[in-house]
């Protein structure tokens, strides 16, 4: 009986510990008025969508963003036949944050890279590259959101 009462007490105590989600549009203190996307492709739109999901319409800070997305795959090593055996995937985003009056607040470059071995199966290799690209895009999006959250 004592065990049941102590379990109930601890569960009530820990459920009200003040958890707040980190990435929520209600808690963000910036509103994105406009996003200019110089390289319009699937990946840059995904980054744009993640950033826009945290824009708060009631925020005091109102900013304009200008994104320049770049994605490249570079061959690092080749085997004896001349076929690539190791590649590097590089994702880079140049971000320019402007105020409502078009004053430049921040100009920053975010880049992530990942090296991987080339597989023989072309289909699984393409899927693997897509997954890597998505992960790198998510990392860059989180970095941009963090930067926007710390704007003064």
User: What torsion, rounded to 10 degrees, do the Cα atoms 19, 25, 30, 31 define?
Assistant: -170
Q: What is the pLDDT of residue 114?
A: 96
Q: What is the pLDDT of residue 31?
A: 81
Indicate the pTM of the whole model. 0.78
Q: What is the pLDDT of residue 25?
A: 47
| Parallel/antiparallel/unpaired status of strands 30-37 and 104-117 | unpaired
pLDDT, tens digit (0-9, with 9 covering 90-100), for 6-31: 777 777 666 656 655 555 545 667 88
Maximum distance among all alpha carbons in the chain? 74
- Is residue 53 within 8 Å of residue 143, measured between CB atoms? no
Q: Name residue, tokens 């890279």.
A: 113
Q: What is the pLDDT of residue 102?
A: 85
Domains and CATH numbers, the chain: 2-149 (3.30.160.150)
Q: Which two tokens stand for residue 125?
A: 């290799």
Q: Say yes or no to pLDDT of 120 above 80.
A: yes
Q: CB neighbours of 48 closer than 8 A, spacing ≥ 6? A: 35, 37, 67
pLDDT, tens digit (0-9, with 9 covering 90-100), for 44-71: 888 889 888 888 888 788 889 999 999 9
Per-residue pLDDT, averaged over 69-83, amounts to 92
Q: Say yes or no to pLDDT of 139 above 80.
A: yes
Q: Say yes or no to pLDDT of 134 above 90.
A: yes
Q: Which is more confidently placed, 59 or 35?
A: 35
Q: What is the pLDDT of residue 44?
A: 87
Helical ranges in the chain per DSSP H: 2-15, 42-52, 122-149
């Amino acid at each position: 009986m004592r065990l049941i009462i102590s379990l109930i007490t601890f569960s009530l105590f820990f459920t009200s510990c003040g958890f707040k989600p980190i990435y929520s549009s209600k808690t963000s203190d910036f509103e994105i008025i406009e996003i200019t996307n110089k390289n319009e492709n699937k990946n840059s739109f995904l980054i744009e969508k993640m950033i826009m999901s945290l824009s708060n319409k009631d925020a005091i800070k109102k900013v304009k963003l200008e994104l320049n997305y770049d994605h490249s795959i570079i061959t690092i090593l080749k085997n004896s036949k001349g076929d690539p055996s190791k590649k590097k995937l590089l994702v880079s985003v140049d971000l320019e944050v402007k105020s409502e009056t078009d004053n430049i607040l921040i100009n920053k470059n975010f880049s992530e890279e990942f090296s991987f071995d080339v597989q023989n199966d072309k289909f699984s290799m393409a899927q693997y590259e897509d997954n890597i690209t998505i992960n790198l895009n998510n990392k860059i999006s989180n970095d941009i959101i963090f930067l926007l959250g710390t704007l003064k």
